[in-house]
Amino acid sequence: MMLKSVTESFAKVIHGLKVGHLTDRVIQRSKRMVLDALGVGLLGTSTEVFHKVSRYSKIYSSNVSSTVWGQPELRLPPTYAAFVNGVAIHSMDFDDTWYPATHPSGPVLPVLMALSEALPSPKYSGLDLLLAFNVGIEVQGRLLRFSKEAYDIPKRFHPPSVVGTLGSAAAASKFLGLSVTECQEALAIAVSYAGAPMANAATQTKPLHAGNAARHGLEAAFLAMLGLQGNKRALDLETGFGAFYANYSPKVLPDLDSHTWLLDKQDVAFKRFPAHLATHWVADTAASLRRHLVSDEALLPIDRIERIVLRIPDVQYVNRPFPSSEHEARHSFQYVACAMLLDAAITVPAFHKHQINRPQVRQLLGKVELEHPRDNLPNFNSLYCEMSVALKDGAIFTERSDTFYGHWRKPLSQKDLQEKFRANSCRTLSCHAVERLIETVGNLEDLEDCSVLTTLLKEPSPPKIASKSI
């Protein structure tokens, strides 16, 4: 009997997984991912990059349409709704991060939300959505484990544009009920849509990677439904998916009767402020150091500081000594260290241009030096930050962070995750919709019709001036 190909084994798992395969832990963890992704997506609708891509996408129309989150007047064809909602999720780099390194939810959730609304029958339940969502997450995790390179912070390709595109195709294939052969074709087609270089990190283009992954994966599934064919061994070959990763070593997936979910073993990290994950170790360390330098509400004594040394991994695209835009600041070890030392907290407005360009920020940035200890590898599971502040009087203070609150080793509490969602969504949606979404996602496995979610995502916040009562 001929050995099954890797690509065929993926197709069989995508097609064959059932609601009964979901474990309680996977359901609970994925519901947290859904809530967080919706919240950062709603916040992302306020960004310049979101306004640009939604303005562009308005040129497309079709008889079938889906909601753009938090924009009740804007409906787009499902592929473009998935695109702009995916861009919104990653627009501030506030979305979840998994290990090996990727942002797993942004490429997948917008696809399923768009489809649940665009396909009038059959009705999709919350469990249908959770199953397809977890299929999309699982496929990303399995592919990442085929290369040692994928475990480290990326240097060449941005992972959501690579594994996210295939995760999106897998989730869409599951939701649409594709056959094994069609699932296999969807994966092959998605490989040809995948990939975006790291050169566009810290620019307005980076959020497009998540949006394109969502859109292209959905397109791959639609094209497979129409009979479009690709290489049936696209995941097996170095010239296929292997083109994206060094030391690519794909393996046939286990049969369904021995299936285990990667999310069961490996949780995601949720961010408390919108910036590259590696900067969260820096913020944690800077907060501890600040307590040595400042008492109560006093200002940081900038003039007394001689130099600041950050001992962090060598991650070139997060080494930005003098960031000049919000996107550069989100990818700057130096800026996050200085902002935390100055302000004692990092919030969404911390990345506005007027905050970045404050004279005291620029003065402090000039004192920062980076060192890259040999044992501090660019890996989200093992990296650390050590930070020293030397004062002009000769005093030196040093602190270190091995794990920050929000990392998978120190997960956000459900209460804090919900507070993050409230803060992110309350400007876009009504308070009623915000609370209903928290409740609905919290009980997603009991929801009979998941289009309820998109209805809530269209409920705008009330106008500033109350209208006259009738």
* 451 vs 124: CA distance, rounded Å: 8
Which amino acid, one-letter code, is at 241? F
Q: Are residues 106 and 225 in the same domain?
A: yes
Domain of 60? Answer: 6-270
Per-residue pLDDT at 467: 37
The DSSP result for 76-90, as a single string, is: E-HHHHHHHHHHHHH
Q: Is residue 435 part of a domain?
A: no
Picking from 270, 286, 321, the residue at the C-terminal end of a domain is: 270
Q: Which tokens hold the place of 105?
A: 């939810």
Instruction: Assign residue 242 the CATH number of its domain.
Output: 1.10.4100.10
Neighbours of 217 (CB within 10 A): 34
pLDDT at residue 466, as a whole number: 42
Q: CA distances (Å), 202 to each of 57, 100, 308, in order?
A: 23, 21, 23
Same domain for 240 and 116, yes or no, is yes
In this structure, the strands spanning 66-68 and 71-76 are antiparallel
Q: Is residue 177 located within the same domain as residue 101?
A: yes
Decide the pairing of beta strands 71-76 and 396-401: unpaired
* Distance linking the first and last C-alpha atoms of the chain: 75
User: What single string gives the DSSP state of each residue in 177-240?
Assistant: T--HHHHHHHHHHHHHH---BGGGTTSTTHHHHHHHHHHHHHHHHHHHHTT----TTTTT-TTT
In a domain, residue 414? The reply is: no
Token readout for 427 is 């400007």
Using the 3D structure, point to which of 401, 430, 445 is the last residue of a domain. 401
Spatial separation of the C-alpha atoms in residues 94 and 108, rounded to whole Å: 16
What single-letter amino acid sits at 448?
Answer: E
The single-letter code of the amino acid at 412 is: L
Residue 410 lies in a domain: no
Residue 389 within any structural domain of the chain: yes
Q: Is residue 450 assigned to a domain?
A: no
Instruction: Give the pLDDT score at 462.
Output: 66
Per-residue pLDDT of the chain (470 residues; tens, 9 = 90+): 455 899 999 999 999 999 999 999 999 999 999 999 999 999 999 999 999 999 999 999 888 999 999 999 999 999 999 999 999 999 999 999 999 999 999 999 999 999 999 987 778 999 999 999 999 999 999 999 999 999 999 999 999 999 999 999 999 999 999 999 999 999 999 999 999 999 999 999 999 999 999 999 999 999 999 999 999 999 999 999 999 998 999 999 999 999 999 999 999 999 999 999 999 999 999 999 999 999 876 789 999 999 999 999 999 999 999 999 999 999 999 999 999 999 999 999 999 999 999 999 999 999 999 999 999 999 999 999 999 999 999 999 999 999 999 999 999 999 999 999 999 999 999 999 999 999 999 999 999 999 899 999 998 776 654 433 33
Residue 460: what pLDDT?
76
Q: Clarify whether residues 117 and 164 are in a common domain.
A: yes
78 lies in the same domain as 214: yes
**Domain finish residue from 247, 270, 293:** 270
Q: State pLDDT tens for residues 438-470.
A: 999 999 999 999 989 999 999 877 665 443 333
DSSP state of 398: E
Number of domains in the chain: 2
Tokens of 303: 């003039």
What DSSP letter does each residue of 146-184 carry, written as one string? Answer: T-SGGGSPPSSB-HHHHHHHHHHHHHHHHHHT--HHHHH
How high is the pLDDT of residue 46?
A: 96
Q: Which pLDDT score, from 0 to 100, does residue 295 have?
A: 82
Q: Note whether 70 and 163 are same-domain residues.
A: yes
pLDDT in tens, 206-259: 999 999 999 999 999 999 999 999 999 999 999 999 999 989 999 999 999 999
Q: 390 and 289, same structural domain?
A: yes
Distance of CA 56 to the CA centre of its chain: 23
Q: How many CB atoms lie within 10 A of CB 48?
A: 11
User: Got the DSSP string for 339-387?
Assistant: HHHHHSS--GGGGSHHHHT-HHHHHHHTTEEEE--TT--S-TTT--EEE
Give how far Cα 289 sits from Cα of 57, 279, 294, 335, 440, Å.
Answer: 46, 15, 9, 15, 41
Tokens of 412: 């956000």
Coil, strand or helix: which one is 429?
A: strand
Q: How far apart are CA 165 and CA 324, in angstroms?
A: 31
In a domain, 441, yes or no: no
Residue 37 lies in a domain: yes
- Check: CB of residue 107 under 8 Å from CB of residue 281: no
Q: What are phi and psi of 36, to 5 degrees?
A: -65, -40
Residues 300 and 265 in one domain: no
Query: How many angstroms separate the CA atoms of 344 and 297, rounded?
Result: 10
Q: What is the CA radius of gyration of the chain?
A: 22
In sign, the C-alpha dihedral spanning 164, 166, 169, 172 is: negative
Same domain for 163 and 19: yes
Same domain, 247 and 343: no
We report the CATH number of the domain holding residue 310 as 3.30.1330.120
Provide the whole-model pTM: 0.96
**87 is a domain residue:** yes
Q: 190 and 325: one domain?
A: no
Do 93 and 163 sit in the same domain of this protein?
yes
